[in-house]
């Protein structure tokens, strides 16, 4: 099968989980345990391995082409599998052309700037793939659920009104429009895990000494705000899904399926960029021929 055909298939598969501007979307309508028409886990692993290999090939071309950058954004509730998806899908990538940034609580330095600043300075270079494990979207998620965090940002009171979240959605849409107009292709993923599956994974972390380090008491505190977070995620997706930067809402109760959807989406996105290796000019070709003779 040709590379072009495989990219089209990846696009078609990923499209099932894509949310764009104006589309009717309710989070409760998406089953976190959904595996689409894929019911063979072992076959899914084989397809994922093929996708990883394709992505490695395309990354090499992305780097050589040196016009585009790719930004992958992962958002999710705790234990939804962000780290796992990044690890498996990007396993074949050349680390020299890929950077992962995890955005936790803002530092004192971050709070001296606007809320987009800390992510802006970590955007990928041309030819590279950048990964945001959480991102500026925390500003309409955790900050919305915890209003006290907004107070710490020292924004002038007259700028904080009833429309602050709508204003931030608008800021983000405009920011992502700016990025895409400057050659940064964006893939956004919300890994949709169920409350039941999250509990199961939390207990695994508590019961397995090798995984204790992954657990924090704060995880349980945030779980108690589950409904608030679900509403915040739903409104975030509704208001920031665009044609140029749609959201992919990925069922996350089965990690093997999550990885498959993420891989297909990234392959489809990178494959759509019309990449190519730079053509050698006649002068450069002559120099190469001369070098070959000297060797």
Helix (H, G, I), strand (E, B) or coil at 40: coil
The per-residue pLDDT for range 147-167, each reduced to its tens digit, is 999 989 999 989 998 899 999
Closest CA to 73 of 290, 265, 226: 265
Going residue by residue through the chain (295 aa), what tens digit of pLDDT does each one get?
566 677 778 788 888 899 998 888 899 999 999 998 888 888 888 999 999 999 999 999 999 999 999 999 999 999 999 999 999 999 999 999 999 999 999 999 999 999 999 999 999 999 999 999 999 999 999 999 999 999 899 999 899 988 999 999 999 999 999 999 999 999 999 999 999 999 999 999 999 988 888 888 888 899 999 999 999 999 999 999 999 999 999 999 999 999 999 999 999 999 999 999 988 777 878 877 888 888 7
Helix (H, G, I), strand (E, B) or coil at 243: coil
Task: Please tell me the predicted confidence (pLDDT) of residue 289.
Answer: 82
Angle between helices 255-271 and 82-89 (to 10 degrees): 50
Q: What is the pTM of this model?
A: 0.94
Helix (H, G, I), strand (E, B) or coil at 72: strand
Q: Which parts of the chain fold into alpha helices (H)?
A: 3-15, 41-65, 82-89, 117-120, 142-145, 147-151, 164-181, 195-207, 217-223, 226-240, 255-271, 282-294
Instruction: Give the Cα separation of 283 and 263 in Å (integer).
Output: 40
Instruction: Give the Cα separation of 123 and 119 in Å (integer).
Output: 7
Question: CATH number of the domain that 81 lies in?
Answer: 3.40.50.300
Q: Please, is 175 exposed, middle or buried when counting C-beta atoms within 10 Å of its C-beta (0-12, 13-18, 19+)?
A: middle
For the chain, how many structural domains are there in total? Answer: 1
75 and 190 Cβ atoms separated by less than 8 Å: yes
Label the pairing between strands 247-251 and 18-19: antiparallel
Q: What residues make up the domain containing 235?
A: 3-294
Q: Please, is 288 exposed, middle or buried when counting C-beta atoms within 10 Å of its C-beta (0-12, 13-18, 19+)?
A: exposed
Measured over the CA atoms of residue 139, residue 142, residue 146 and residue 151, the dihedral's sign is negative
């Amino acid at each position: 099968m040709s590379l072009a055909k495989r990219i089209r298939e990846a696009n078609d598969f990923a499209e099932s989980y894509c949310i764009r501007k104006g589309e009717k979307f309710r989070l409760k309508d998406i089953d976190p345990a959904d595996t689409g028409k894929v019911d063979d886990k072992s076959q899914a692993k084989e397809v994922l391995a093929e996708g990883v290999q394709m992505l490695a090939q395309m990354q090499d071309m992305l780097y050589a082409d040196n016009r585009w950058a790719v930004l992958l954004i992962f958002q999710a509730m705790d234990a939804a599998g962000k780290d796992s998806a990044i690890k498996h899908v990007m396993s074949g990538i050349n680390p020299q052309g890929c950077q992962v940034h995890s955005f936790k609580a803002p530092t004192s330095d971050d709070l001296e700037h606007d809320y987009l600043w800390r992510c802006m300075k970590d955007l990928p270079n041309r030819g590279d793939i950048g990964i945001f494990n959480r991102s500026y979207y925390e500003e309409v998620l955790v900050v919305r659920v915890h209003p006290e965090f907004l107070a710490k940002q020292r924004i002038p009171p007259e700028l904080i009104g009833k429309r602050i979240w709508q204003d931030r959605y608008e800021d983000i849409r405009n920011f992502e429009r700016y990025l895409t107009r400057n050659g940064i292709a964006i893939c956004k993923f919300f890994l949709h895990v169920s409350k039941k599956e999250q509990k199961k994974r939390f207990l695994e972390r508590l019961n397995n000494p090798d995984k204790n380090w992954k657990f924090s008491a704060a995880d349980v505190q945030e779980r108690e705000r589950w409904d608030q977070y679900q509403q915040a995620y739903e409104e975030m997706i509704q208001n920031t899904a665009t044609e140029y930067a749609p959201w992919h809402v990925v069922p996350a109760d089965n990690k093997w399926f999550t990885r498959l959807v993420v891989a297909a989406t990234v392959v489809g996105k990178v494959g759509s960029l019309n990449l190519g290796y730079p053509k050698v000019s006649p002068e450069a070709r002559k120099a190469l021929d001369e070098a070959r003779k000297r060797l």
